[in-house]
Amino acid sequence: MAGRYGRPRSVLRMRTVAGQVFLLQVAIVLLLVAAAIAALVLQSGNDSEREARNRSLAVAQTFASSPGLEAALKSPHPTAVLQPRAEAARRGSGVDFVVVMNTDGIRYTHPIPNRIGKKFVGTIQPAVHGGIVTEKTTGTIGPLVQAVVPVFGHRGTIVGLVSAGITISKVSGVVNAQFPLIFGSAAGVLLLTTGGTALVTRRLRRQTHGLGPAEMTRMYEHHDAVLHAVREGVIIVRGDGRLVLANDEARRLLDLPPDVEGRRVADLGLDPATAALLESGRIVTDEVHPVGERLLAVNQRSTDRDGGPPGSVTTLRDTTELQAVTGRADVARGRLKLLYDAGAEIGTTLDVVRTCEELAGFAAARFSDLVTVDVAVSVLSGEEPTATGAGIEMRRTAVGGGPPDGSLYPVGELIRFAPHTTLGARLPAGEPFLDRDLAAFAGWQHHDPERARQIVAHGIHSLIAVPLRARGVILGVVLFWRSRSPEPFEEEDLSLAEELVARAAVSIDNARRYTREHAMAVTLQRSLLPRALPDQNAVLAAFRYRPAHAGLGGPGGVGGDWFDIIPLPGARVALVVGDVVGHGLHAAATMGRLRTAVHNFANLDVPPDELLWHLDELVTRIDQDEGAESTGDGPKASVTGATCLYAIYDPASGVCTMARAGHVQPLLLRPDGSAAFVDVPGGPPLGLGGLPFDTCRLELPEGSSLVLYTDGLVEDRHRDIDEGMALLRRTLAGRPDRTPEETCEAALGALLPDRPADDIALLVARTRVLGAAHIADWDVPADPSAVAQVRAAAVRKLAEWGLADETFTSELILSELVTNAIRYAVGPIRVRLIRDRSLICEVADHSSTSPHLRQAATTDEGGRGLFLIAQLAERWGTRYTSDGKVIWTEQALPDGESAADGA
């Protein structure tokens, strides 16, 4: 190639700029290709691990959030339900394993079946406390990444864990397969770039005419012409602190005078911080400096690197607009964070007042200085509010932020916003209201002018009022006040307040509806349970009822346990305790039906085993009827699983007869302080049908106590039923001096958990015995003349008891009953008088024929005896025994003449 002056130049000597550029560009291309390949290799490794983490975490979180997972974890056989789903998820997602475990790390699922039931290998503690664990480990299948996430129940509790993992080799294999293509592409790029560089070098040699470095240096001395077009300011400062170069953008940004080249930086009139930075020459990267009304991002580097002259080069970039945009983004991010936190902190309970307090406290701390929440009185009681809110009476329910005394209405104050006030006019339409300057008194003060002046006097200067609105009705209004913050509320604050109140209104409405439904359910159950014990002398009784989860939301306070004391003829009493499985309205309604049935069967005066048989038949029919009426849209509301214990105590003989259907054994406390469970033969729960029930008959000494209870007292998630029964026996033994009330308190104090998961019904009955002084009985021969003898003996006994006024009625009743027994029944015949709360006359025989009350015709000579008895006696009836029947009557006694008074 000819040189500039006709002298040949060898390309290999590379004395020209073009040759040097050629070698430099080739070297750069080689370095770039090598660096790209090295970076790709490193990046592939990092990407593989990151992809493994992301994929394992995504699969674990997706599976943990899948529908039905909570129910599967709580099912009797979680592995049978979860193993197919986990394997399907593993194959579909491409991970190596999906493992579901309980909170102790015991596996329910695993690709290798023999690993199921063993403890998970990895870190799970953060996930047990609600966190997420992602870790890299080496397992039997090689290096892998696994993630562990919690499974949250519908109440926010952690019910299990899910782990997913994938080997790094599986992820990196995709990238490794691309290496041949990458290397081939790199080689092609290298060849193309080298060829292109050679072409550019040849053209550069032609255009520069073979100029050397010295000539090119002189040409680049005019580079200042190019700097005029740069949008970034460029300043070059020598090592002695004098300015060498400042382009047009730098002069504009720093407001420099025209003749700045060669002057010291300290003499340019810059602000001290900027001048000190330019003179220091220190390395700076994107450091923001305020200069006048601008915010400049400054980058500064030294020029003496690689043998260059001493000094520094500084670039300036105007970021004022970017900073403003960033500020607005920060504000939006902050508001989104506020709304997110509000969703987590407001509405944590199904209680209207508590939700209002949470709203007031949160908004006062995070949004405004003072907050008041006024709720319609009907909403507080759980009723449906009015649709418009016009003239609605509200009660101040919550105040947040600590307002000055005498400024705002206190909690509990009744408030009614009149239609002529600003808020009263906007409330019916659900429109918010913003008043930036309360001191202007633009209409808001008409509600209470005197208090309005006090509000302004205490420094409260700005107001936002937003109606609480849900499902198209007005629940109340929230007032946001500013006092400590000098800035008034703006339109953006109004939008934020509306969103905040809208979210809270949903929680308040849910709480209101829960309050209504819960009150209805509790009222229903209380109407079904006995409110007081009946008057009777057979036992001294006390009871306790504790519903599950009372006060904790959900179906708290509504359950299926019940108890009863039912007076029976002959001064006897029936003791009943029952349990319907489940909670809520269905359990309570079923309990009411069973309790009513027990009362009806008890009125028939049948033995305990026969009563349970009838009750079992009733439950079976209920199940069949409800199953037939089911539409198939929901689960069958079966009552199978109800249990019952029924006991009859006779104070005349001291004998107690008991039978149970799937219920826990009663506890007997004897007068000597000993305690033992009564071995009542166990029958199946009610509703199974077709199986008999056996009875247990035992004689109780006077002063013995029967403790009847449901399994909720002795069984808990932390204690099995055998341990609970043993603890109950130890607690109540050795204290025969306790009253039934004290016995109930002792049992609950020892066994009642803090958060009972099941309903508890407890009934304690201390036995009494009617002494011989209150009972008289005679054997009657089957001779009509014996009727007069019985009447005479009864008259003497009534006179002895001081019941001479009852003589005529008793003679008439005894005459009719004994005559009928002699005439129609089978002997032997026995007559018994019992003085209790009423005077009881009993005539027993060995016939199973029952007399019936009928209306005698005017021409009939007989048939009026039972009619007379029904008119004279307070009650009468027939009960059957194992060897016959007993016809009984009850006569009311004058006040103060009962057996209890005599005792």
| Assigned token pair, 284 | 């700076």
> Residue 212: its pLDDT value, please?
60
| Assigned token pair, 273 | 């911080």
> Residue 645: its pLDDT value, please?
95
Question: 651 and 601 in contact (C-beta within 8 Å)?
Answer: no
b/e code 633-644 from CB counts within 10 Å (16+ = b):
eeeebbbebbbb
Per mean pLDDT, which range of 200-214, 660-674, 852-866 is the poorest?
852-866
> Residue 659: its pLDDT value, please?
95
- Is the pLDDT score of 739 beyond 90? yes
Question: 262 and 242 in contact (C-beta within 8 Å)?
Answer: yes
DSSP at 308: P
The SS3 assignment for 17 reads: helix
Question: 649 and 575 in contact (C-beta within 8 Å)?
Answer: yes
The SS3 assignment for 845 reads: strand
Question: How does DSSP assign 89-137, residue by residue?
Answer: HHHHHT-SEEEEE-TT-BBS--SSGGGTTSBPSS--HHHHTT--EEEEE
In the block, tokens 């990267």 appear at: 285
* Mean pLDDT of the 755-762 span: 83
Residue of 898, 886, 782 lying closest to 839 (CA atoms): 898
pLDDT band at 323 (very low <50, low <70, confident <90, very high): low
| Assigned token pair, 107 | 């596996």
> Residue 657: its pLDDT value, please?
95
Question: 416 and 393 in contact (C-beta within 8 Å)?
Answer: yes
Note if the bond before 828 is cis, omega within 30 degrees: yes
> Residue 532: its pLDDT value, please?
77
> Residue 9: its pLDDT value, please?
46
pLDDT band at 901 (very low <50, low <70, confident <90, very high): very low
* Mean pLDDT of the 223-231 span: 63
State the greatest distance between any 2 C-alpha atoms of the chain, in Å, as a whole number. 171
DSSP at 770: -
The SS3 assignment for 229 reads: coil
**Most confident among 63-67, 442-446, 540-544 (mean pLDDT):** 540-544
> Residue 208: its pLDDT value, please?
62
**Half-sphere exposure of residue 440: CA atoms within 13 angstroms, side-chain side:** 9
**Half-sphere exposure of residue 789: CA atoms within 13 angstroms, side-chain side:** 12
pLDDT band at 558 (very low <50, low <70, confident <90, very high): low
Checking 402-406 for CB contacts under 8 A at 24+ apart, the result is 402/370, 403/370, 403/372, 403/458, 403/460, 403/481, 403/483, 404/458, 406/454, 406/458
* Mean pLDDT of the 275-295 span: 82
Residue of 843, 781, 846 lying closest to 818 (CA atoms): 843
Mean pLDDT, the chain, integer? 81
- pLDDT tens per residue across span 420-463: 777 778 877 788 989 888 888 887 888 888 888 888 888 889 99
> Residue 4: its pLDDT value, please?
42
CA distance 172 to 47: 8
> Residue 6: its pLDDT value, please?
43
The torsion of the CA quartet 392, 393, 398, 402, rounded to 10 degrees, works out to 100
Handedness of CA 335, 336, 337, 343 (dihedral sign): positive
Per mean pLDDT, which range of 145-154, 398-407, 547-556, 866-875 is the poorest?
547-556
Per mean pLDDT, which range of 463-472, 627-636, 638-647, 808-817 is the poorest?
627-636
- Is the pLDDT score of 192 beyond 50? yes
Question: 310 and 239 in contact (C-beta within 8 Å)?
Answer: yes
- Is the pLDDT score of 27 beyond 50? yes
Checking 72-77 for CB contacts under 8 A at 24+ apart, the result is 73/100, 73/102, 73/108, 73/151, 73/159, 73/160, 74/159
Rg of the chain in Å (alpha carbons):
47
> Residue 386: its pLDDT value, please?
67
Per mean pLDDT, which range of 352-366, 578-592, 700-714 is the poorest?
578-592
- Is the pLDDT score of 703 beyond 50? yes
> Residue 399: its pLDDT value, please?
92
- Comparing 191 with 886, which gets the higher pLDDT? 886
> Residue 765: its pLDDT value, please?
95
- pLDDT tens per residue across span 469-513: 888 888 889 999 998 888 888 888 888 889 999 888 898 888 888
Per mean pLDDT, which range of 157-171, 546-560, 693-707 is the poorest?
546-560
- pLDDT tens per residue across span 239-280: 888 888 888 888 888 888 878 888 888 888 788 888 888 888
> Residue 221: its pLDDT value, please?
59
* Mean pLDDT of the 49-76 span: 85
> Residue 512: its pLDDT value, please?
86
The strand pairing partners of 583, in sequence order, are 559
CA distance 368 to 479: 10
> Residue 550: its pLDDT value, please?
53
> Residue 15: its pLDDT value, please?
59
End-to-end CA distance of the chain: 142
Which residues, 6 or more positions from 95, have their beta carbon under 8 angstroms from its beta carbon?
55, 56, 59, 164, 165, 166
- pLDDT tens per residue across span 198-217: 777 677 666 665 656 666 66
What Å distances lie between residue 200 and 14, 22, 871, CA to CA? 15, 8, 131
- Is the pLDDT score of 605 beyond 60? yes
CA distance 53 to 174: 16
Question: How does DSSP assign 689-726, residue by residue?
Answer: -S-----EEEE--TT-EEEEE-HHHH-BTTB-HHHHHH
SS (H, E, C) 373-402: EEEEHHHHCCCCCCCCCCCCEEEEEEEECC
**Most confident among 187-196, 200-209, 812-821, 851-860 (mean pLDDT):** 812-821
pLDDT band at 143 (very low <50, low <70, confident <90, very high): confident
The strand pairing partners of 160, in sequence order, are 151
* Mean pLDDT of the 561-588 span: 87
Question: 18 and 201 in contact (C-beta within 8 Å)?
Answer: yes
What is the number of residues in the chain?
903
The SS3 assignment for 644 reads: strand
- Is the pLDDT score of 139 beyond 80? no
> Residue 640: its pLDDT value, please?
55
Residue of 398, 380, 550, 371 lying closest to 463 (CA atoms): 371
Alpha carbon of residue 706 to chain centroid: 39
CA distance 144 to 124: 16
The SS3 assignment for 806 reads: helix
